[in-house]
Chains A and B, each alone.
Chain A
Amino acid sequence: MAEGENEVRWDGLCSRDSSTRETALEHIRQIVLRKTEYLRSVKETLYRPSDGLSNAVSLDGMNKLLAHLLMLSKRCPFKDVRERSGFILKSVEELGIRIPRPLGHGPSRFIPEKEILQVGSEDAQMHALFADSFAALGRLDNITLVMVFHPQYLESFLKTQHYLLQMDGPLPLHYRHYIGIMAAARHQCSYLVNLHVNDFLHVGGDPKWLNGLENAPQKLQNLGELNKVLAHRPWLITKEHIEGLLKAEEHSWSLAELVHAVVLLTHYHSLASFTFGCGISPEIHCDGGHTFRPPSVSNYCFCDITNGNHNVDEMQVNSAGNISVSDSFFEVEALMEKMKQLQECRDEEEASQEEMASRFEIEKRESMLVFSSDDDEVTPARDVSRHFEDTSYGYKDFSRHGMHVPTFRVQDYCWEDHGYSLVNRLYPDVGQLIDEKFHIAYNLTYNTMAMHKDVDTSMLRRAIWNYIHCMFGIRYDDYDYGEINQLLDRSFKVYIKTVVCTPEKVTKRMYDSFWRQFKHSEKVHVNLLLIEARMQAELLYALRAITRYMT
């Protein structure tokens, strides 16, 4: 049995033309049945030791195939594909082959599945988004399913990501995915690493590179240092870093390539934040997203508890929520009251200049003290650590280590005036796309807060945005940092800081413990603010260094 004939081609399924999908599905069905027949025949004949290996290989291939089908049956935006893949799976099962079933309950470990939009029940706008995403990537990933809480943002996000990864740009396709892997690995984000390992191989990347950065070309290895600094302490980036990359003889980067790489790095650093911040579960067809074990009572409990999403668990949270419901109700009320006060008293009371300056310092210093008390050890994700070196290098508080690093003043170098121009000059159109994304994220509002409607949340959003920039040492001259203390309580700050600086340490408890009365969509909204603010902060430092290098 030759492999060539049985090569499964999934791309036909991405077509918008239903008849094309039909043929592709039929083709897949035949292959699956053929393989099934083959496996059955092997099973029935006596096991010969020599066959063991090839058998295992073909079994493995079969399992991958089935897992992919499972994913399609759950996550394809096209109804016909969903139904047909389910049908194929069922027929395979009838032939006596064990089929996989999804693990966990939905795209996010933090958000109950029932809160998240079900594929198939989306409205026309969302369906168009899903179809776009599916056509571009051949899958509908969990990130998309969580982000679809905010379709306006999702559209811009997908457009940008698609442009960065697949459209014209200075870097070759496999480089782009590899840079994505490098960036995600810095935060040990196995979810993104797995996704992009697949994509990397799909676009013809050399599998050897995946054994570690030292197996990649020197040019990419050179990028490692920038990746490290950018991810954890972007304020330390100097024009020497840039110069080192641009003037490395035959391994040197061009300015356009570097800007592309920087945008990719920052994009994936912040996407890693989102992945952890929203507890994105592994994709169904990737490792850890499905199991072939039959659902028995014992391990039903087992795996569900590990996924933190069991009904019982849910109830516990709910009951916890119920107990403190009055408590958290007051939380929202208090927050709104504070916002109102700030709005009113702003004009009356004028803080002195010294005080304003010191408030920024205080906030900076305090942000350092804010850290989750429960530093549970996160088990380092398998395979991920080999993609980056120097694991000890992590976020160090700006204020503690940045004594000699001057504060970054937005009024002197901001995205709208300076960053945009530079990016758009060196990597045309991307500046525009990112600019749009920042704008949408920053201005997104439904004028609601928990159960209240018609609330102007701009103050709160600005506080969150500026708090994140404050952690990176970026200061707005025209902002009173006292507001942050008023508006953001401690558990919220802990969450923000963890998501932005050390996303791998985020736990469900942190996610649950802030803003208890708020909706999940609002928490996802917060995450969008976090990742965009983080991306902008990193970009600002990197682009400023490039500008300094150029002048």
Chain B
Amino acid sequence: MEKMSRVTTALSGSALTGRTMHCHLDAPANAISVCRDAAQVVVAGRSIFKIYAIEEEQFVEKLNLRVGRKPSLNLSCADVVWHQMDENLLATAATNGVVVTWNLGRPSRNKQDQLFTEHKRTVNKVCFHPTEAHVLLSGSQDGFMKCFDLRRKDSVSTFSGQSESVRDVQFSIRDYFTFASTFENGNVQLWDIRRPDRCERMFTAHNGPVFCCDWHPEDRGWLATGGRDKMVKVWDMTTHRAKEMHCVQTIASVARVKWRPECRHHLATCSMMVDHNIYVWDVRRPFVPAAMFEEHRDVTTGIAWRHPHDPSFLLSGSKDSTLCQHLFRDASQPVERANPEGLCYGLFGDLAFAAKESLVAAESGRKPYMGDRRHPIFFKRKLDPAEPFSGLASSALSVFETESGGGSMSWFVDTAERYALAGRPLAELCDHNAKVARELGRNQVAQTWTMLRIIYCSPGLVSSANLNHSVGKGSSCGLPLMNSFNLKDMGPGLGSETRLDRSKGDTRSDTALLDSSATLITNEDNEETEGSDVPADYLLGDVEGEEDELYPLDTEHVHPEEPEYVLPQEAFPLRHEIVDTPSGPEHLQDKADSPHVSGNEADTASLAPVDSSSSLLSVSHALYDSRLPPDFFSVLVRDMLHFYAEQGDVQMAVSVLIVLGERVRKDIDEQTQEHWYTSYIDLLQRFCLWNVSNEVVKLSTSRAVSCLNQASTTLHVNCSHCKRPMSSRGWVCDRCHRCASMCAVCHHVVKGLFVWCQGCSHGGHLQHIMKWLEGSSHCPAGCGHLCEYS
């Protein structure tokens, strides 16, 4: 490993130093074990059995225990363990069922000490007693565990699990006589070493084999188990029934588990298959590993913490024939890469959002902004009370519910059905649509229609529907009315809020600005806008003589949800309070460049309340003089359409597009139009508004859209007698040479519109049937059915 970081950990007495490093072994490893002094590690596998010294920079091979002319199966190790009291003593479990002990103190080359051939099947695990020098335990595939006294030739006692193969055995670190064993059938058993007749306790820990277990080094009675079901579970064995304390879900079956020293809740795992990494988990945080070591290229088969009191060094052996020392400091921490937020929609439109506590806390300060007025929501903050460690990683979960009925789209359906899109003069269409919108309580939209009408229809008609929204500042200088097209109320979410904030903050500077602008406007000059640094606010100064026309708006008390604006005049419907225009910059620039600057200004100003009683503004006159081509507004309208579309009100965008037709079409690129059209049509069809959707398709000019109702327009008819499709003509069957649909009234073949009763399936020419039904409600065919037509 290139990472050269060194770690020196102060330990009682000695200091452990080293770096992340690896060395190549000759063969895949099956297990590793560390010597008591933390300076040597033994690696065992099918064809390897070596001791390496862990030096500061590298591993150094110290001893090869695999000696003899012909390697026997006794040396094919499934497991190896180094005695924690005696540094000369090792034991291995062989795949052929032999348990071998090794004495490094022997003078000869062959260090093999004793051979126990009592197991009939592969021995999966060997384990020394943590404090007794001569006690060794083994667990085998044959379902037996045996306890050996190394001073004797054979086993002292045999424990029969009475179930399938034993996968792991571990002496309890705290309780002298206790050991745990895990089984292939998912059971964990607790034994007293003095009582081989039956186990003290048994419980099913996992679904499928339990591959490993490990006692907590400090907490008496905490046992971690790992199984093929991809779970690590932590059990509390001190209670009467083993209680599951924690459960960590990994991504592959768990082959080894080892508690991390000095860290009460940490444990390291590696997996049996597929996944090659070593993970260190905080058991209280079971979804994201605390650390991850990714050095190995094949499955990791053995892990061991280097020193029982040092949490930063982890050793591992792998099938890829490498031995690694990992430094905790060099581990990758998946939590840093994880996305701390989660978002999900429920079946009924509820939205759940989970985020880091700190984030949400900051958010809640802005709570009022979270409301979307069209979708009223509740804000629920649920802190999991079961989470005892809020400091570690706690998240807040918010559930936003759609208010019953609030989320309904009835306004959409109504609007779609009632809008007029074509067939009348533009002005009428606009008026009609404005009326529809107003009736549905969508004043903003109504206002837009009105404005469109004003813009595109003859200015002489400007008389009514108008907007007025004055945001004034009752400043000392007694400023003229300020007509601010503030986007304050425009939309949900933060956008408008920031704008509001902006305007709030900028009002004062604007005041001065407006001061001059007002003067300038009277001079039919509007250079003032060039200095404006408030892009969100389109400020218009207007001169109003009367003081009481001033409606200072205290922005501090404005609730975005419920703006209450007192409107100054009564000459026109005042219910609509606000209109939004697209943001101003382009417009302002336009203005600056345009030769008709003043006219523009004046024209917009004409949208201001026109008080019949008061004299018209001078600028209004200017409007008549220098009439602007509607083209002039196209940028504005375009932006407005974009605004609506982005807000999700694609209905408005498309409707305006259709109503205005050629007037705006060229300003919006074909693709965007097509996009809007298809989204709107899609929406309409979801609401089963087939007629409207078809009308929209028909009226659209985008070729891709209008060809939608050109496709599959054929209706195939089957003959009512022989059930064959009538291919050539719709009324005569080629096969049985009979006419398919006869009019029940005139007894002729119906070749055009055929209408029939769903009840008795008699019918005929539309005209004839209609006529018939005027006289009688019985079926004209005489079948006696009371026909119903819708």
Contact = CB atoms under 8 A, between A and B. Distances in A.
Interface string A380-418: 000000000000000000000000000001011000111
B272 A346 contact: no
Nearest to A432: B208
Given A421-B252, A478-B97, A478-B121, A357 B273 contact: no
B716 to A, nearest CB: 17
Contacts of A4: 723
A411 B184 contact: no
Interface stretch (B73-81, B282-290, B375-383): B73-81
B276 A356 contact: no
Contact of B73 (A350, A357, A418, A550): A357
A551 B297 contact: yes
A353 interface: yes
Contacts of A287: none
Contacts of B141: 478
A2 to B, nearest CB: 9
Contact of A478 (B120, B209, B723): B120
Contacts of B273: 417-418, 421-422, 425, 547
B96 A478 contact: yes
A354 interface: yes
A478 B95 contact: yes
B488 to A, nearest CB: 53
Contacts of A350: 117
Contact of A417 (B119, B120, B211): B211
A417 to B, nearest CB: 5
B765 interface: no
Given A411-B46, A416-B209, A420-B228, A478 B122 contact: yes
B761 interface: no
Contacts of B74: 353
A477 B297 contact: no
Nearest to A420: B228
B274 A411 contact: no
Contact of A346 (B120, B184, B298, B723): B120
Most chain B CB atoms below 10 A, which of A417, A418, A420, A547: A417
Interface string B103-127: 0000000000000010111100000
Interface in B671-687: none
A356 B97 CA distance: 13
Interface residues of A, number: 23
Given A409-B46, A551-B297, A418 B272 contact: yes
Contacts of B320: 551
Nearest to A443: B164
A202 B297 CA distance: 47
Contact of A411 (B78, B299, B723): B78
Contacts of B647: none
Given A478-B120, A478-B121, A550 B95 contact: no
Contact of A551 (B95, B120, B121, B276): B276
Given A411-B78, A421-B272, A478-B97, A354 B72 contact: yes
Contacts of B117: 350
B483 interface: no
A407 to B, nearest CB: 12
A236 B274 CA distance: 22
- The A interface is mostly helix, strand or loop, or mixed, namely helix
Contacts of A353: 70, 72-74, 96
Contacts of B297: 551
Interface string B136-167: 00000100000000000000000000000000
A416 B141 CA distance: 12
B788 to A, nearest CB: 32
Interface in B287-313: 297-299
B253 interface: yes
Contacts of B96: 353, 356, 477-478
Nearest to B141: A478
Contacts of B95: 409, 411, 477-478
Contacts of A417: 209, 211, 228, 253, 272-273
A353 B74 CA distance: 8
Contacts of A421: 228, 252-253, 272-274
A422 B252 CA distance: 9
Interface string B520-546: 000000000000000000000000000
A480 to B, nearest CB: 9
A356 B73 CA distance: 9
A360 to B, nearest CB: 10
Interface string B746-765: 00000000000000000000
Interface in B195-249: 208-209, 211, 228
Interface in A241-268: none
A367 B596 CA distance: 103
Contacts of A409: 46, 95
Interface in A512-551: 547, 550-551
A409 B77 CA distance: 13
B644 to A, nearest CB: 44
Interface of A: 4, 346, 350, 353-354, 356-357, 409, 411-412, 416-418, 420-422, 425, 435, 477-478, 547, 550-551
21 contacts: A346-B120, A353-B73, A354-B70, A354-B72, A356-B96, A357-B72, A409-B46, A411-B46, A412-B46, A416-B228, A417-B253, A421-B252, A421-B274, A425-B252, A425-B273, A425-B274, A477-B73, A477-B97, A478-B96, A478-B120, A550-B274
9 cross-chain pairs, A with B, having the tightest CB-CB distances, nearest first: A353-B72, A477-B95, A421-B273, A411-B95, A478-B122, A477-B96, A478-B121, A478-B97, A421-B253
